[in-house]
Structure 1
Amino acid sequence: MKVEGFELRRVAMPLVSPFRTSFGTQTARDILLVRAVTDAAEGWGECVTLPDPVYSPEYTDGAVDVMKRFFIPALAAAGIADATSIGEVLKPFKAHRMAKAALETAVLDAELRAEGRSFARELGSVHDSVPCGVSVGIMESVPQLLDAVGGYLDEGYARIKLKIEPGWDIQVVRAVRERFGDVLLQVDANTAYTLGDARHLAKLDPFDLLLIEQPLEEEDVLGHAELAKVVKTPICLDESITSAQTAAAAIRLGATSVINIKPGRVGGYLEARRIHDLATAHGIPVWCGGMIESGLGRAANLALASLPGFTLPGDVSASGRFYETDITEPFVMRDGRLDVPTGPGLGVTPVAAILDELTTAVEWVPV
């Protein structure tokens, strides 16, 4: 297979409602899509960067720049013929894992479409569908939050994740528990706390949470290991896990007992599978995190979440959770689950008319 070039496409997708976390509020997603064109097929990848470097050092304009100036020329010089070689070719370039992941996913999708194989089969899927979890942002009031949680439970979501930060944590979890009982519940701090908050975070222990996600700064792996000695709620790492190597170190240090695998954050779905395999070997449960992806990224995440080690519901919500109009045929939840696509490659493609309507910029970069 010969890669002929990459199309970098920006699409603007309004959210159905603002989504607030400790690192900012989103009202729309400026999504960078990558289309790989080969002599055998085309493939799609989604870059999950945010407009600003607040969740990670990466940001969307930077991803475009690094792809054009460094990554695509390097792939052209190497004459890549398959997706498995992309990681090695781009290894000399530090970080920028989300940009690398988008390129790798696009080429892998094209490769699998040409061969008639599905993304899920390639990764090692064992399930036809996966349970859906939903992430609930920080809101103006507790009653507003309770109404939102009740609505998601009525829709059939199997697990609720609450975003928390200092001043919006214990009382919020207590209110949800009191209203909704033993629903599967976890919290996500997005690095909003310090080790000095350990005793405060231990007040979450009586609420029988599945986990507390990334309470401390991403570089404070030792701090998470110390925190795990104080709180009984399982510690889950998100931002701290950027590769199988960092996952192995966190597990060895006792800094995490659950791992959130976000493929973009770790450099792609092939590295995500390596982290899954590592965690499974150590008896560490994993789940698939989300970055408010379009249907393209959602399809790939569903494939990943259908691997055997993904024993907790992930952030693989239906299209309607975030978007009134998705760029693919919408993913619709049934009985709290989403079907894993089985068609060639990702198993979905953009709806041309919708994609064109939402597109704000397109650039072709030949190889």
Structure 2
Amino acid sequence: MPRVRELEVFRLVLPYGRRPESILVRLTEYGGMTGWGEVVDGDPKTWVALEEGLARALVGVDWEHPDELGTVPGGPAADMACWDLWARMRGVPLAHALGGSRTSLMATVRIGAERNLDSLVSRVNRHVCAGYAHVTLDIHPGWDVEPLRAVRHAYPVLGIGVDARGAYTDVGALEVLDAYSISSIERPFAGPAGLADHADLQERVAAPVLLEVSSLADLDEAIAANAGRALLLRPAALGSLREARRMHDRAVQAGWEIACAGGQGTGLARAATVAAASLPGCGLPCDVAEPPRSAQIVTPPVGVSGGVVAVPLTQPGLGHRIDEDRVRRLAKESYSA
């Protein structure tokens, strides 16, 4: 039975991009075993919630399984740490603890809009040469048919998905993309667009419309409206891995496909995404592109090799060793209880 003796929380400013903030939670049980979790979040309220409520919720409290804990203060970082600790204590990989069965995952790489078509095709070429069998093209009105046509002409059998990032209001503008044998149309509409627009698009195209929803209730509503045929599952954006698993199960029950994505930061959140992506319904290519090595605190690094992501199954828990010295060097702030 896990019983947390001590917890530590670290706030890191990561050395890349827009220097996002990452919060790490380290739990230590009475036998000395540890579990780690992470959330990429710059909201001061998250830090306050952890500082004010996490010790009261976990330290000295007996529990049999992470599902018993409900919503832990501080959200996904603390929940992930509980799952990691629980799996380590039982000597099982987190993927198996969640019910995963895959040993490897096909990866996709996201490719943003380029200056011109030649630059786009060259960039796709670099990733194909690195072993990727699938790419996801960012599109928006004015940059959609032509780039998709150029990539499909250069790579007739390459798996290609498109991510609209909610940029469209016209169903017809997306319908024409279906002629290029795309694997999915991700996040087509945003703002005032409702499920009816998504359902209209799904009725017109063969490719699954890939929806991102924030709760099980929203997923149920989308399924009832026939608003798509695929779920974009981001475990790091949900409150718990239990919620991610429940959404997976509901999507599978409805006959939907699933793509896992997300979890930036130091590699811990991405490791949890990989574990969730090993669930049997997650058959679409996953997006767990490797964070810069300058930011990773895990060994081996979480990333892609030859277009494939290995699910770590030889070590318990998240399956990665944590460089605690590096965590403390990168920490901008920390506390323990």
Compute the TM-score of the two structures, normalised by the length of structure 1.
0.81
Match of 1:33? Answer: 24
Distance 1:168 1:34, change over 3 A: farther
Equivalent AA in structure 2 for residue 8 of structure 1: V
Mapping 1:201-212, distance limit 5 Å: 201-212=174-185
Q: Which runs of 5+ in 1 are unaligned?
A: 16-25, 52-59, 91-98
Match of 1:170? Answer: 145
Distance 1:324 1:109, change over 3 A: closer
Specify which of 318, 321, 327 is matched with residue 297 of structure 2.
Answer: 327
Number of aligned residues: 330
Indicate if the aligned counterparts of 1:7 and 1:34 stay in contact, CA closer than 8 A. yes
Identity %: 30
More displaced 10-residue stretch of structure 1: 73-82 or 154-163: 73-82
Match of 2:161? Answer: 186
Offset of residue 77 of structure 1: 9.3
* Alpha-carbon RMSD: 2.5
Offset of residue 160 of structure 1: 0.5
More displaced 10-residue stretch of structure 1: 269-278 or 37-46: 37-46
Cα distance in 2 for partners of 1:292, 1:179 equals 31
3-state SS of 2:322 partner: coil
Match of 2:129? Answer: 154
Distance 1:290 1:89, change over 3 A: closer
Indicate if the aligned counterparts of 2:6 and 2:59 stay in contact, CA closer than 8 A. no
Mapping 1:93-108, distance limit 5 Å: 99-108=74-83
Match of 1:72? Answer: 54
Indicate if the aligned counterparts of 2:72 and 2:78 stay in contact, CA closer than 8 A. no
Cα distance in 2 for partners of 1:202, 1:254 equals 17
The question of 1:363 aligning with 2:330 is answered no
Mapping 1:1-367, distance limit 5 Å: 1-15=2-16, 26-40=17-31, 41-49=33-41, 51=42, 60-69=43-52, 71-72=53-54, 75-76=57-58, 79=61, 81=63, 82-87=65-70, 99-194=74-169, 197-217=170-190, 220-238=194-212, 241-317=213-289, 319=290, 322-325=291-294, 326-329=296-299, 330-331=301-302, 333-342=304-313, 343-357=315-329, 359-366=330-337
Match of 1:22? Answer: none
Offset of residue 158 of structure 1: 2.5
Equivalent AA in structure 1 for residue 54 of structure 2: I
Cα distance in 1 for partners of 2:208, 2:93 equals 34
Cα distance in 1 for partners of 2:284, 2:259 equals 5
Alignment deviations for residues 307-340 of structure 1 (CA, whole Å, 9 cap, x no partner):
21111111023x3xx4133221224544432221
3-state SS of 1:224 partner: helix
Q: Which runs of 5+ in 2 are unaligned?
A: none
Offset of residue 293 of structure 1: 4.2
